């Protein structure tokens, strides 16, 4: 009976911890508003701090090449992706001058503020295909969506910018719009 009480207390503590983690996380469906700033998204700028993720306009963030080997992370707040069924990550992306850049999408279930200490799982590399036209008119935005199967009370998504192939001679601006995570 004594061991049963200890087990019941341990299970109760675990359930409360999971519920607390889930309550701190944003619920599905999640949409990044980016109304006037980056909101609760975190920027990790590993190189060349003058070129990093910035707010551009409502629902739109931007980054510009520095002609160097940038490595910049844009990390979402915690999003509660628990429950059955697939989740769908959706965003629009565009580039301006040269198709030389690479943005990749990752997720982590153990990110606690240190990008290097977390385990990041690559969802997709080079989100914008090289064959996609460039420009910032609405028709030039590439629509990216991916269904994912996982269940976790706290998931962070990251959009990572690194030069595609080699850092180029020309600067290239990239924009991300309307980031969403949907559940079934």
SS (HEC) of 4-63:
HHHHHHHHHHHHHHHHHHHHHCECCCEECCCCCCCCCCEEEECCCCCCCCEEEECCEEEE
Q: How far apart are the first and last CA of the chain?
A: 42
The C-alpha atoms of residue 78 and residue 111 are separated, in whole angstroms, by 9
| Residue 147, pLDDT above cutoff 50 | yes
Which pLDDT does position 104 carry in this prediction? Answer: 92
Which pLDDT does position 96 carry in this prediction? Answer: 81
Tell me what the mean pLDDT of segment 83-97 comes to: 89
Give pLDDT tens digits for 62-75. Answer: 988 766 667 899 99
Residue 167 pLDDT class (50, 70, 90 cuts): low
pTM for this predicted structure: 0.82
| Residue 9, pLDDT above cutoff 50 | no
| Helix, strand, coil percentages for the chain (3-state, nearest 5) | 15, 40, 50
Opening angle at CA 101, ends 100 and 104, nearest 5? 145
| Residue 7, pLDDT above cutoff 50 | no
Residue 159 pLDDT class (50, 70, 90 cuts): very high
Cα 118 vs. chain centroid, distance in angstroms?
14
Which pLDDT does position 6 carry in this prediction? Answer: 47
Which pLDDT does position 136 carry in this prediction? Answer: 82
């Amino acid at each position: 009976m004594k061991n049963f009480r200890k087990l019941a207390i341990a299970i109760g503590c675990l359930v409360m911890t999971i519920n607390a983690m889930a309550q701190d996380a944003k619920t599905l469906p999640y949409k990044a508003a980016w109304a006037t700033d980056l909101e609760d998204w975190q920027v990790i700028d590993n190189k060349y701090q003058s070129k990093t993720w910035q707010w551009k306009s409502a629902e739109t963030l931007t980054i510009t090449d520095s002609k160097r080997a940038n490595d910049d992370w844009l990390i979402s707040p915690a999003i509660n992706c628990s429950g059955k069924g697939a989740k769908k990550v959706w965003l629009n992306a565009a580039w301006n001058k040269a198709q030389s850049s690479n943005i990749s999408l990752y997720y982590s279930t153990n990110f606690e503020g240190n990008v290097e200490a977390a385990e990041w799982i690559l969802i997709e590399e080079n989100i914008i295909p090289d064959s996609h036209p460039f420009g910032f008119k609405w028709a030039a935005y590439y629509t990216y969506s991916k269904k994912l199967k996982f269940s976790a009370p706290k998931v962070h998504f990251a959009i990572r910018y690194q030069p595609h192939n080699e850092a180029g001679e020309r600067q290239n601006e990239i924009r991300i719009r309307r980031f969403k995570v949907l559940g079934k």
